[in-house]
Amino acid sequence: MSTSIDTGALDATGPEDASPAPGSNRHLGWALVLISIAQLMVVLDATIANIALPFIKSDLDISQANLSWIVTGYSLAFGGLLLLGGRLGDLYGRRRMLMVGVAIFAVASMLGGLAQNEGLLLGARGLQGLGAAIASPAALALITTTFPAGPERNRAFSIYAAMSGAGAAVGLILGGWLTGLEPSLLGHSVEGWRLTFLINVPIGILAAVAAPLLLSESESHPGELDLPGALSGTLGLVGIVYGFTRAGNPSYGWGDTWTLVSLALGVVLLAAFVLVERRATHPLLPFRILASRTRATSFVVMMLVPAAMFAMFYFLSQYVQNVMGFSPLRTGVAFLPFSAGIIVAATISSKLIERIDPRWLAGLGTAMAGAALFGFSRLPYDDRLQSLSVNAHYASDILPYIILMSLGMGMVFVPLTLTAVHGVGARDSGIGSGVLNTMQQIGGALGLAVLSTVAVHFSSDKVASLSGAAKAAAGSVSDPAQAKRIEGLIAQVSFTEGATHAFFTGALMIWLGTVIVLAFLNAKHDDLATDEMPEGVGV
């Protein structure tokens, strides 16, 4: 039994908490493949449909106002249900919950791919989010409980981290490629956007069938589900995620009534959740999970990192399509180096973590990622009306920073994922993973809201500053095509102005993460070689 000041409750392991003995699972390699596929499927679905949105809008006649719900609906269900999904794995068996999650995800993907109207598609996206919220914490917890601490677990986390980080880029590539296809299925032509959903069906079914063959089951503790905590926590998180998402939408913003109402209700419900959890016999979120300073630091920084990274994909994917004129598929391919870079960096990081303390690896990674965002903030453009242009080049102005960002992220995800779940007793590993995933989702929503606000502010100011000259120029141009070209250039320059300020703000956010890591992440690399949390590594 550990004598740790702040985590003794976590490490007090009885027979029900014991992790599988090293080597007890004869299929560790294939088990990791299965877990990684499940995680990749969940993560890439957050972006795979983005490129297909214009085609979905046209085919199903969805209004522009409701189109964003295809993305928001998934994020709401996923982010709001992660804590509940993580606890369900602890209570009813993580392998079972992984199977349930990927099965729900597969069924929802089939419904989305076959949808003939807006209602069914939006409902399918919410159901996908539910499946993802159940499967994702189970996948991370299964790594913690299946792989022994040390090099094996470090390598497993490097692959998991690579899948988590590369998933967004892979989603853009697959989305661009699949959207351009129009194959024949059972004698009928199928719109390419439907394949972005249908591709998940065979993968999800295969994962659900393979899970009992490759993964050991954890002990279940039925009857202990904290329903008041689940209700208040889930609704509170949904309110927060929805409020941040709405705030990031230029059509609503921070001053919108429902944005403020949603955020206020979310805060009130989360406050009620804290009160409920303090009195619950079997709380949904045992507060001992947050008792370690190292773990709390990991959670905070893993909220700041996605805040910047998701924004990079959001603004840069629009930039290369709408400003540089890339096709959907070419846009996806433009992000391919990110996937390769994060895999390489995660692999290297899993080796270095055996000899270097996590704070130095994560500190270097966040510093590199911040430098990459700062590089994006220097995208060149000329805002003088007589020479209005955006003359960025992919090879010199974008590719170097995509690579730098990917290397930085790979250096961050492995050590911080390890420190975030290290020392959590096996019985609580599901909810520990759920907290980590929740922080990432909240961070992504918050970051996108903040950076979208920054971008819209500076973009609007740029349009206003050029409007008088633009009207004069358009009035003096007799050729309507030329006048339209000038208006298009103004739109491109204005978007670039907003995006570059958003990138700079993102750099400041992630550099804040660097400061927090170096100041508060005090775990040693030797600590991660065991499941015990060392004495005194707490608040």
Query: Could you tell me which residues are beta bridge partners of residue 382?
Result: 389
287 burial type by CB count under 10 A (0-12 exposed, 13-18 middle, 19+ buried): exposed
Residue 1: inside a domain, yes or no?
no
Same domain? 415 vs 289: yes
Same domain? 397 vs 451: yes
Q: Between 93 and 144, whose confidence is greater?
A: 93
Same domain? 137 vs 245: no
pLDDT of residue 18: 39
Residue 156: inside a domain, yes or no?
yes
- Over 50: is that where the pLDDT of 17 sits? no
pLDDT of residue 131: 94
Residue 489: inside a domain, yes or no?
yes
Residue 499: inside a domain, yes or no?
yes
The stretch 407-423 carries a mean pLDDT of: 86
Same domain? 171 vs 258: no
pLDDT of residue 502: 92
Residue 531: inside a domain, yes or no?
no
Residue 271: inside a domain, yes or no?
yes
Task: Supply the DSSP symbol for 300.
Answer: H
End position of a domain, from candidates 247, 262, 283: 283
* Alpha helix (H) residue ranges in 180-281: 192-198, 200-214, 227-247, 257-279
Cα–Cα dist 45/244, whole Å: 20
Segments forming the whole domain that contains residue 453? 8-225+284-526
* Share of residues in the chain with pLDDT > 90 (%): 26
Q: Which of 74, 144, 41 is nearest to 435 (CA)?
A: 144
201: which 2 tokens?
A: 């069906």
Same domain? 395 vs 502: yes
pLDDT of residue 473: 55
Query: How many domains does the chain divide into?
Result: 2
Same domain? 410 vs 520: yes
Cα–Cα dist 394/373, whole Å: 15
SS3 (DSSP) at 5: coil
Confidence class for position 470, pLDDT limits 50, 70, 90: low
pLDDT per residue as tens digits for the range 59-75: 888 876 677 788 778 88
Same domain? 423 vs 388: yes
Same domain? 247 vs 205: no
Per-residue DSSP letters for 351-368?
HHTTTS-HHHHHHHHHHH
pLDDT per residue as tens digits for the range 243-277: 888 887 777 888 889 999 999 999 999 999 999 98
Same domain? 130 vs 279: no
The stretch 308-330 carries a mean pLDDT of: 82
The stretch 439-454 carries a mean pLDDT of: 83
Q: Between 321 and 400, whose confidence is greater?
A: 400
Residue 538: inside a domain, yes or no?
no
Same domain? 139 vs 273: no
Q: pTM of the full predicted structure?
A: 0.80
End position of a domain, from candidates 283, 303, 322: 283
pLDDT of residue 65: 63
Across 128-132, 445-449, 451-455, 477-481, which has the greatest mean pLDDT? 128-132
Residue 248: inside a domain, yes or no?
yes
Same domain? 258 vs 215: no
The CATH number that applies at residue 364 is 1.20.1250.20
Same domain? 334 vs 454: yes
